Structure 1
Amino acid sequence: MNVSFILILLLFGTFATYLAGDKFAKTVALFFSLASVAGSIFILNQHNAGIDESFMINWISNPNIYIALKVDGLSLAMLLLTTVLTSLILFSSFGNNYNNSKSFYALVLFMSFAMVGTFLSADAFLYYIFWELALIPIYFIALIWGNGDADERKRAIVKFFIYTLAGSLFMLVAFIYLFQKAGSLLIGDLYAIRLTENEQFWIFAAFFLAYAIKIPIFPFHTWQANTYQMSPSVGTMLLSGIMLKMGLYSVIRWQLPIAPLAAKTYMDIFILLSVIGVVYGSIVALKQRNLKKLLAYSSLAHVGLIAAGAYSLSFDGLRGAVLQMIAHGFVVVGLFFAAEIIERRFQTQEISEMGGIRIQDNKFASMFMIVMLASVALPSTFNFIGEFTLLYSLYNVNIWFAVIAGTTIILGAVYMLKMFQHVMLGEQTDKVFKGITIQESVVFVIIIAVLLFFGLYPKPINDLITPALQDIVTKINKL
């Protein structure tokens, strides 16, 4: 079985979910998502046994374009993150009722299909198709099943769609130019191109516009908070847990190795923009009264740190970025799921209308506290491993980058603890918080288990990603 099986499975699952009808759609979607997890684990075992599960066939002869899928430790880590989180997100949604649920769950699986394709693609044209395909389902998920005023939601989602689509067009132009130089769009051939300093600058800038919007990096973040707030929780978790990782992954896989000289020349500028996002996101989060917006700006701060580490161009920076991408994926899904649970009971996202939940459900408060502490990088949690490695990489570039970026831990602790104190420990409102269900508890237990296990023993992931990252660092330093 090669890795194309995962894509076929998810695409077939999309159609099967839609044809299953509203009554069985969520069950069918969960079945296929769990099957994709099993397939991903099988591919991982094959990879560890030294069996290459990559896939390539000629798709279009003129121009020469391939359906090429690459399996290495980096793409496998992102494949596992996508399939596991998709399953968790789908399972977390079982407490909600959606109109036209067959379309809703089919779109979720189709989005997973597109994101998996983005992470596995080794041909730039195929990569670009998957990159754009991932935008379509989240647009409809957020627009049709989102929250808040319909007109305001439409403005926020259309802004998100236009922003990300416009940025992607610059990347497409860059790929067309690279094709003229190499005569191929296979990633290995693009790595081998010898570009001048001026060519690298424009290629790097084109990639940066696409990735900075998707991540997002300051000042290209303006779509994020409202889109996260207006989207249904499933959409928010897909965006924050997986989709933004497409941009971070692409920086490491495509941008840095293709234009390494530009990356080195302008490294300080891009690290600075990322670090500004860390501080900006943390400060704005302090002032938020809406729970989902607070978590959105918190996510902005954390991904800013990940981007800064990636742009440090060091092995430690890339390793820290990948570790933190995975850790952040689980934490942010846990946090937004907690916000969803509260909204189900209280019918509000406003922090001022919450309080005293611990008195009514101590179990939920305890699990929420563990995820919250992981988000502020408490030692022994997965996030601590990633953030420590990222700050160390920034320290090796410039101590002040590390000092300023480190504020994400301090300010993060302030706004997260303040939020937790009000929501969980504050004065009890007149609203009844019904205890969390077994299904909701299972989602939290899985997330907490991942955060604690890899916080204490990150070696399996570290061993998986190290060879691929060492290869990328070698390509970055080839000039």
Structure 2
Amino acid sequence: MLTILLVLIPIVTGLLALSVGGRTVRQLALLGALAELVTAVVAWTQFDPAAGTQFGFKYTWIASAGISFSAGIDGISLLLVLLTTFLTPLIILSTFGYDYKNSSAFYALILFMEAALVGVFTATDVFLFYLFFEAALIPVYFLAAVWGGENRLKVTFKFFVYTIFGSLFMLVALVYLYFQTPGEHTSEITALYDLILDAKTQSWVFWGLFIAFAIKMPLFPFHTWQPDTYTESPTPATMLLSGIMLKMGVYGLIRLLLPIVPLGLAQWGEVAIVLSVIGIVYGSIIAIQQRDMKRLIAYSSFAHVGLMAAGVFSTTLNGLQGALIQMLAHGINVVGMFFIVEIIYSRTKSRYLDHLGGITQKTPHLTVYFMILLLGSVALPLTNGFVGEFLLLAGVFEYNNWLGAVAGLTIILGAVYLLRMFQKAMFGAPSAASESFKDLTVSERAVLIPLAIMVFWIGIYPSTFLKMTEPAVHQILRFINS
């Protein structure tokens, strides 16, 4: 019942939002997102990590093909449902200082995307997973294409083509796997785990799934859509893309690729982890050269995702646990960072570092929250980023010392580009753009305070979330090693 509610609440609220205009629609959207968060917290309080998948439902969809609407929540799913339902109301609240044309459609699309994201993270039928995976693309496409920057149509078309191209690879792989199930075919994900496929078959299935998920995250060299899309999209869409949507790719690796094609992973896992590590260094070096703060954070996100993928492909307990906790930490940090860039842009009409400076002299509150989120992003001990990066690097080192050493450059390079951004934007003499800069409003603080709390909660007491996911991670590792 709780899983059904988690999918239906944002859909129903989104439909209601389409019939409401003016400022009322943003309040309705926030109320619906908060109701979704409460439902997720209730599921969390009733969840038993050792009991496997819970709160499930199953309804026949295509009876003759053995395809059903079935979903449930295990520890991995719950972590990402909590991330989605925690960030969505904050993203909606972050828009309260702005007026968007056709606001009813704007907020409805955010809510529909939340429903699709929750559907991806809870689906236990592979075709339902695919349905929600594709459904999440539609709202963010329109958010970017309608409310984005000057080059939005060109950029969003490239994003759409990339993701559809990748999804076709995944669909072919999933259809093939479906027809390999014995007897009356079934599309239950757990049934695909039990398939016995030869190494050659698993090899091409690996690439079908890998390309789809690598584009969605994105990983090097499938990343070229990401910086432009993040930069041209309106900030709420960028938050959804970076904070939650890219996690679908990492989740897909863990939920589908690793346990279904372990022999394919044995053949090609090293190539995948090398590509991930290249992305870490490449993204970090490009980030150092950026003048546009929004574009800088986009490349920072690309580098962080590379480390998450490297941890996943290490197929170690530390690597998988690190990827999961880092997904949570990265979502919190990157949403906060993009919001702070939007605050700076709204007051100065510029995101370029050489146009800014001296902001900290007028904004003590903004400075504190900016620094907290930045330190979480550079993995300072006792912040959320440290826990994930430590586990991820431990996992990669366990897989290969040399790859671990190169991946470890993310700590140094991340500090370089993020501290440089903070220094150029916040310190020095005030620029003409920042001369009349005003500190945070009440609604802006309401967004940043929960994010700052989570930075320290995860950093100081990560076992809250690690204990939640550990039994499910062990189950995935058993399928890989069986």
Q: Secondary structure at the match of 1:70?
A: strand
Q: Secondary structure at the match of 2:54?
A: coil
In the TM superposition, 1:109-148 aligns within 5 A as 109-147=111-149
Q: Which residue of 2 aligns with 1:217?
A: 219
| Structure 2 unaligned blocks of 5 or more | none
Structure 1 residue 17: Cα displacement: 1.3
User: CA–CA distance in 2 between the matches of 1:286 and 1:343?
Assistant: 20
Q: Secondary structure at the match of 1:193?
A: coil
Q: Secondary structure at the match of 1:69?
A: strand
- For residue 256 of structure 1, the aligned residue among 239, 255, 258 is 258
User: CA–CA distance in 2 between the matches of 1:293 and 1:130?
Assistant: 28
User: CA–CA distance in 1 between the matches of 2:80 and 2:452?
Assistant: 19
Q: Deviations over 1:146-171 (max 9, x none)?
A: 12x2xx22111100011001100110
User: CA–CA distance in 1 between the matches of 2:2 and 2:187?
Assistant: 22
Q: Secondary structure at the match of 1:96?
A: coil
- For residue 465 of structure 2, the aligned residue among 461, 465, 469 is 461
Percent same amino acid among aligned pairs? 45
Q: Which residue of 2 aligns with 1:236?
A: 238
Query: Residues 280 and 304 of structure 2 are in contact (CA less than 8 Å); yes or no, is this contact kept in structure 1?
Result: yes
Give the letter for the 1:236 counterpart. T
Q: Secondary structure at the match of 2:70?
A: strand
Give the letter for the 1:203 counterpart. V
Give the letter for the 2:20 counterpart. A
Give the letter for the 1:14 counterpart. G
Q: Which residue of 1 aligns with 2:47?
A: 47
Aligned residues: 475
Query: Residues 315 and 470 of structure 1 are in contact (CA less than 8 Å); yes or no, is this contact kept in structure 2?
Result: yes
Q: Deviations over 1:69-114 (max 9, x none)?
A: 0211110111111011111111111111100101000000000000
Structure 1 residue 52: Cα displacement: 2.9
User: CA–CA distance in 2 between the matches of 1:90 and 1:412?
Assistant: 28
User: CA–CA distance in 1 between the matches of 2:350 and 2:415?
Assistant: 24
Query: Residues 2 and 55 of structure 1 are in contact (CA less than 8 Å); yes or no, is this contact kept in structure 2?
Result: no
User: CA–CA distance in 2 between the matches of 1:243 and 1:306?
Assistant: 14
Query: Residues 282 and 408 of structure 1 are in contact (CA less than 8 Å); yes or no, is this contact kept in structure 2?
Result: yes
Query: Residues 46 and 52 of structure 1 are in contact (CA less than 8 Å); yes or no, is this contact kept in structure 2?
Result: no
Q: Secondary structure at the match of 1:54?
A: strand
User: CA–CA distance in 1 between the matches of 2:44 and 2:422?
Assistant: 38
In the TM superposition, 1:50-65 aligns within 5 A as 52-65=54-67
Give the letter for the 1:27 counterpart. Q
- For residue 281 of structure 1, the aligned residue among 269, 283, 299 is 283
Q: Which residue of 2 aligns with 1:18?
A: 18
Q: Which residue of 2 aligns with 1:33?
A: 33
User: CA–CA distance in 2 between the matches of 1:400 and 1:291?
Assistant: 32
Structure 1 residue 46: Cα displacement: 1.9
Q: Secondary structure at the match of 2:229?
A: helix
Structure 1 residue 63: Cα displacement: 1.3
User: CA–CA distance in 2 between the matches of 1:184 and 1:200?
Assistant: 19
User: CA–CA distance in 2 between the matches of 1:100 and 1:348?
Assistant: 25
- For residue 85 of structure 2, the aligned residue among 79, 83, 86 is 83
Q: Which residue of 2 aligns with 1:161?
A: 160
User: What TM-score does the superposition give when structure 2 sets the normalisation length?
Assistant: 0.97
Give the letter for the 1:16 counterpart. L
Q: Secondary structure at the match of 1:426?
A: coil
Q: Which residue of 1 aligns with 2:398?
A: 396
User: CA–CA distance in 2 between the matches of 1:38 and 1:153?
Assistant: 35
Structure 1 residue 312: Cα displacement: 0.5
Structure 1 residue 314: Cα displacement: 1.1
User: CA–CA distance in 2 between the matches of 1:162 and 1:24?
Assistant: 35
Structure 1 residue 299: Cα displacement: 0.5
Query: Residues 7 and 113 of structure 1 are in contact (CA less than 8 Å); yes or no, is this contact kept in structure 2?
Result: yes
Q: Are residues 1:378 and 2:380 paired?
A: yes
Structure 1 residue 2: Cα displacement: 3.0
User: CA–CA distance in 2 between the matches of 1:114 and 1:426?
Assistant: 44
Q: Which residue of 1 aligns with 2:449?
A: 445
Structure 1 residue 238: Cα displacement: 0.2
| Structure 1 unaligned blocks of 5 or more | none
Q: Which residue of 1 aligns with 2:176?
A: 177
User: What TM-score does the superposition give when structure 1 sets the normalisation length?
Assistant: 0.98
User: CA–CA distance in 1 between the matches of 2:15 and 2:180?
Assistant: 39
Structure 1 residue 469: Cα displacement: 0.5
Structure 1 residue 184: Cα displacement: 1.1
User: CA–CA distance in 2 between the matches of 1:316 and 1:146?
Assistant: 39
Give the letter for the 2:87 counterpart. L
Give the letter for the 1:41 counterpart. V
User: CA–CA distance in 1 between the matches of 2:312 and 2:246?
Assistant: 14
Structure 1 residue 220: Cα displacement: 0.3
Query: Residues 54 and 72 of structure 2 are in contact (CA less than 8 Å); yes or no, is this contact kept in structure 1?
Result: no
Q: Secondary structure at the match of 2:246?
A: helix
User: CA–CA distance in 2 between the matches of 1:77 and 1:55?
Assistant: 19
Query: Residues 33 and 88 of structure 2 are in contact (CA less than 8 Å); yes or no, is this contact kept in structure 1?
Result: yes
Give the letter for the 1:469 counterpart. V
Structure 1 residue 354: Cα displacement: 1.1
Structure 1 residue 397: Cα displacement: 1.0
Q: Which residue of 1 aligns with 2:418?
A: 416
Q: Which residue of 2 aligns with 1:358?
A: 360
Query: Residues 382 and 455 of structure 1 are in contact (CA less than 8 Å); yes or no, is this contact kept in structure 2?
Result: yes
Q: Secondary structure at the match of 2:101?
A: coil
User: CA–CA distance in 2 between the matches of 1:379 and 1:229?
Assistant: 30
